[in-house]
Amino acid sequence: MAKKNIQQSEEKCALQEILGVIGGKWSMSIIYALFTGKKRFSELERLIPNISTRMLVKELKNMEANGIVIREVFATVPPTVEYTLTVKGEKLEPIINELQKWGVEYVI
């Protein structure tokens, strides 16, 4: 396999791994909603139309495990849970904004 092809298939495995972290159908919308700062679970549910509670729980767990968001629990009654982007998550902002510009020009 020519050198270029080997390099490309290594890059592609990398891309597949990356998409495993943020490629979920809802991850980018959740990250996008967190660009404007810390959010509670209910706020995320309101900001992301059509996402089910079960899916939001699953995606947030996956994103927390992958270091994209931080989950903080406050001992209020009932307890309050807030989500914040990590630095790693915030670095996606320019990419998602570029994706949106592409979409506005070519999709919507």
What is the CB-side half-sphere exposure of residue 33 using CA atoms within 13 A? 22
Strand partners, 85: 69
Residue 65 contacts a copy of itself per CB under 8 A? no
Residues 6+ apart with CB under 8 A from 82: 38, 39, 40, 71, 72, 74
Residue 57 contacts a copy of itself per CB under 8 A? no
For a copy of itself, which is the closer residue by CB, 14 or 57?
Answer: 14
For a copy of itself, which is the closer residue by CB, 2 or 73?
Answer: 2
Chosen residue from 49, 54, 77, 79 binding a copy of itself by CB under 8 A: 49
**Residue 50 φ/ψ region, left for φ over 0, alpha for ψ in the -120 to 50 degree band, beta for the rest:** left
Residues that bind a copy of itself (CB under 8 A): 4, 8-9, 11-19, 21, 23, 25, 28-29, 32-33, 36, 47-50, 66-67, 88, 91-92, 94-96, 98-100, 102-108
